[in-house]
């Protein structure tokens, strides 16, 4: 599913706009303002004029359209609104429809959003942990390349790769945050010793992360990293989710009588949409 966003300053707002409608409206600022005046003025203030500044409508459902909005004020001042349509494999019906960017990371090529997190964990901790993981994989892959070997992602299975990412994130947060690593295989992965609050850390390649989270049906905080593999064989984080779930938010998957895999549970999609929030998102095309 594709999503369209209105962007002004450091605020986003989700729009009800299809790909075909965006292509039709892209170079007609008067039509955009007529349809979305309420949303534009909610983010940018009262608007007196609205003109096209730049439109890039690419194939594959990607577009960036930038308009200059002149505010209705005594002195001339400018606000910018950008409509961005991009691919997304899930809906965020339960997520906030207006997000505030609180940090941009050029190293991770993404932005961090304001959201509720457990005491002792900050976006600075998350950014540093993610950067540490990428640096570790870069070092491993550089060493393999120098020895005529393929990158790590070609030597181990994908579930092993995501498991290493999860373990490294856990180790990094143990070192830089108030959350400390628990014993191996113990739930949760991290615990704040002063508050007693725990966090379970997961990493996944799936764009439907609710379907891959939850070997254990438990109450608590979950920190989930969606990732791809970049050209060097190192992780490229698409999104990071955080939220507090209860046992009622899981569905037991079990296994067939002939299967030998470990019985698992996964998160209900509606519970994910309602309770899990995006704290980091990669910006396609750079920031």
Which of the listed ranges 19-28, 138-147, 278-287 does the model predict with the highest average pLDDT?
138-147
9-23, 103-117, 197-211, 221-235: which range is least confident on average? 9-23
Q: How far apart are CA 39 and CA 13, in angstroms?
A: 8
Q: How far apart are CA 287 and CA 281, in angstroms?
A: 11
Bigger pLDDT: 284 vs 125: 125
Nearest to 15 by CA among 6, 23, 7: 6
**86-107 pLDDT, tens per residue?**
434 333 433 444 467 889 999 9
CA 176 vs CA 87, 125, 136: distances in Å: 34, 7, 16
70-74, 148-152, 224-228: which range is least confident on average? 70-74
What CA dihedral angle connects 167, 171, 174 and 175, to 10 degrees? -160
Q: How far apart are the first and last CA of the chain?
A: 23
How many helices, marked H, and strands, marked E, lie in the chain?
Answer: 5, 15
Residue intervals in the chain for CATH 3.40.600.10: 103-282
Architecture of domain 103-282: 3-Layer(aba) Sandwich (3.40)
Q: pTM for the whole thing?
A: 0.68
């Amino acid at each position: 599913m594709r999503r369209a966003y209105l962007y002004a300053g450091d605020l986003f707002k989700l729009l009800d706009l299809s790909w075909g409608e965006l292509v039709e409206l892209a170079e007609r600022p008067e039509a955009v303002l007529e349809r979305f005046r309420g949303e534009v003025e909610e983010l940018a203030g009262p608007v007196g004029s609205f003109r096209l500044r730049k439109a890039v409508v690419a194939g594959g459902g990607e577009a960036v359209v930038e308009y200059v909005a002149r505010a209705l004020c005594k002195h001339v001042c400018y606000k910018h609104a950008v409509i961005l349509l991009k691919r997304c494999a899930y809906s965020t019906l339960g997520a906030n429809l207006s997000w505030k960017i609180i940090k941009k990371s050029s190293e991770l090529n993404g932005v961090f959003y304001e959201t509720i997190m457990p005491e002792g964990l900050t976006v600075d901790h998350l950014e540093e942990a993610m950067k540490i993981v990428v640096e570790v994989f870069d070092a491993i892959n550089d060493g393999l390349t120098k020895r005529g070997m393929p990158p790590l992602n070609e030597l181990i299975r994908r579930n092993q790769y995501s498991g290493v990412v999860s373990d490294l994130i856990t180790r990094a947060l143990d070192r830089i945050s108030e959350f400390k690593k628990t014993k191996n295989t113990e739930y949760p992965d991290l615990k704040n010793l002063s508050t007693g609050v725990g966090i379970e850390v997961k990493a996944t390649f799936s764009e439907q992360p609710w379907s891959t989270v939850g070997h254990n049906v438990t109450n608590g905080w979950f920190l989930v990293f969606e990732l791809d593999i970049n050209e060097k064989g190192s992780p490229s984080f698409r999104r990071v989710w955080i939220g507090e779930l209860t046992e009622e938010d899981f569905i037991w998957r079990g296994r067939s009588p002939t299967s030998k895999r470990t019985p698992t549970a996964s998160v209900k999609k509606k519970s994910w949409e309602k309770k899990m929030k995006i704290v980091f998102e990669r910006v396609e095309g750079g920031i």
